[in-house]
Chains A and B, each alone.
Chain A
Amino acid sequence: MSTLSRKVDLNMAIKIINAMIIYANDNELLPGSYAVVDEGGHVVAFERRDEAPAATADIAIDKAWTAATMKASGRILEIISKGQGWRLNVKHKGRLTIIPGAVPIIANARVIGGVGHSGGSAEDDLKIAQAGWTAIFREEGFNAEVEERLSLARKIAKEAIEEVNNRKLKPVTVAVVDEWGHPTLIYRVDGAPFGTLELARDKAWTAAAFKTLSENVSSLYSNMINATNWNERLTPIPGGVPFMYNNKFAGAIGIAGNMPEEDKNLAMDVIKKVGLELLG
């Protein structure tokens, strides 16, 4: 008997993202950011296309968060809040994103997660997000062709997940950021606590921001940085590794889920396995 999953797992999230990318390509819509979150609103998978504006990343994630935690579509929230939804943004540090393109994932008569898309008009964002969640009702798989940078990030993530299994490590979150520290991909492996999510992303950000291993940041800049607490993303602990692509600094990878040293070794090995060079 064919059944629907009762929760959003990584496979489902990746399927949803692929379906969204295919829909966007088929309809010649602008490339954007694609986010899938679980019931609690925490990212399970996130991807940003090469040509998508960097700022769409958090908009997509926050749309998905809004749909899952409000258990309603952005389109409905927009209407019931009579266009005044932005006033709610004194709450949740501005995360509430009451704009179409935020669609709850409903299965077995329950909201089990959310889908968010950002990058086009509100109308297009909604249609793409709908194409995403309806894909869980399709038997067939979806494989979208993606651009160079995203496809590299996918390779890194795939390799990292394989290595986690080979080394029998605890499930992790893998984050890949571009040279500016903006996320291009985040995958949270089934079983990884949601706390690893921001940790992985922030390790990658730290490595990209200082173009060095994340743990070096404290010593390089002495303890000044920690003391000033100048940026909430700053995470100078092992697990953030910057990499080169085509002899150029191209971004960083952040892994979280195990002991920091293990995360770091994993990240460094993955970079080599994929054929990239470490920075510096």
Chain B
Amino acid sequence: MEKYDVVIVGGGIAGLSVARELSKYKVSTLVIEKNEGFGKEMTASNMTLVCQGADSLTFRHGTLHAELNIKSIPLWPKYAEELGIPFKKIGGLGLIRDRIDFFRFMKMYSRAFKSSLKGEESYYIPKGSFEPLQFLDKKTLKDLEPYSNPKIQGALYDPNLAVTDPVKLAVALAENAKANGVEFLLKNEVKKIMREDEYFTIMTNETSVKGSFVVNASGINADRLAEMVKARDFSYIPVKGVLTDFDEDTSEVFKHQAFYLPSLGEPHIKAVVPLIYGGLRVGIHLSFTLRSDKEIPLGAVDHNLGVIKSIAPGYPFEKHIKKTFFGIMPLTNAETGWHDFVVDIPPHVPRWINIVLGPAGVSSSPMLGKKVVELLSTSGLEMEPNPRFSSSAKGGVKG
């Protein structure tokens, strides 16, 4: 039976961010993925946004969700360049309908400035990686986005917001990790894990391997995997988010990310994002769901169409629908709405790391790997730098 220092279960953005970071050290690492390729599930079904601006600065302070995202902000441009993935700052517009919206955005605006641009703050963002936000009046907004709804009174403009291609990022991380010595086991689903004193034995549908450390990055099934070794110290609800893509023609209609603030009693998100290869992605119709539920809920497409129509009326979007699809994300603390990431070692299962990301998971990728490396080294894994590490080599992994 092959033995590894670290076995990562899951070849999505979480597992691969960790794999790539680990390949900087002399550590034998294996990634097990049940699909034939990488980033096929949560990684492939989200808004493709990289939270580079005010959005991540307004995440609940003191949460890992905020910490990993904010610390990732200055790392992203280099990260994308090394890995050769598209990364484009498109800018975001917080749409203001009325005075109430304006006051809520004022809060966001001032908080963004207070939080992290000062050197003594715990989440410090170096100068140059964050451009100031600005309020746009109705006329400026109209000049910027001629199709925007005339009922919109103005907007809070955040020039920092970016988009990427999360699946391409996943594949690039895998290829770079492979080039630096990480091994991969595709089309292998973990069926059983046994915990011994010094290592875990991981059995898949095809083979068995041993790992001194296990990183549980199995996305929406992280709870089931953790339960195999009694390591579940978190709970989450699977949330189904339905997104609608519009064809390339619509790229001309709207150029920025734009969103309305959520209002009371409205469970869904109202946002549009221009995709990196053209077209618009609109959503998000949300519902708590069973993860086996593969249906698009009634009214979801209408909701998404309604969102884009309320942002840019007067364009026949219904004729430009490309596809409607959904992703299922874990939401922790769902009863309060205070989502947070889980990246920790459960108190009673040493050498096991749980990762639960969910919203803004892709954005946190650069810091996530570093966080896990820190956890591994503090729990006894010897980590010597890998002298042959190349930050942009590609290893040719199928995906």
Q: Which residues does A use to contact B, with CB under 8 Å? A: 1-4, 23, 25-28, 73, 75-76, 103-104, 106-109, 127, 130-131, 133-134, 137-139
Contacts and interface: CB of A to CB of B under 8 A. Distances in A.
B197 interface: no
A131 B334 CA distance: 11
Contact of A107 (B233, B234, B288, B347): B288
23 contacts: A1-B295, A2-B290, A26-B227, A26-B231, A26-B348, A27-B347, A28-B347, A28-B348, A73-B335, A76-B336, A103-B335, A106-B334, A108-B288, A109-B267, A127-B235, A130-B333, A130-B335, A131-B235, A134-B237, A137-B237, A137-B238, A137-B288, A139-B290
Contacts of B293: 1-3
B359 interface: no
Question: Which secondary structure characterizes the binding site on chain A?
Answer: mixed
Given A3-B290, A4-B288, 12 more contacts: A2-B292, A3-B293, A27-B347, A27-B348, A28-B348, A106-B335, A131-B232, A131-B235, A134-B334, A137-B288, A138-B290, A139-B292
Question: Which secondary structure characterizes the binding site on chain B?
Answer: loop
A2 B236 CA distance: 18
B114 interface: no
Contacts of A108: 288
A20 B236 CA distance: 14
B121 to A, nearest CB: 24
Interface string B100-136: 0000000000000000000000000000000000000
Contacts of B60: none
Interface of B: 223, 227, 230-238, 267, 287-293, 295, 333-336, 346-348
A106 B267 CA distance: 12
A28 B346 CA distance: 11
Contacts of A107: 288
A110 B291 CA distance: 19
Among B235, B236, B336, residue most surrounded by chain A Cβ atoms (within 10 Å): B235
B32 to A, nearest CB: 22
A3 B234 CA distance: 24
Nearest to B287: A109
7 closest Cβ contacts across the A-B interface?
A26-B230, A130-B235, A134-B235, A2-B290, A73-B335, A131-B235, A2-B293
A75 B288 CA distance: 21
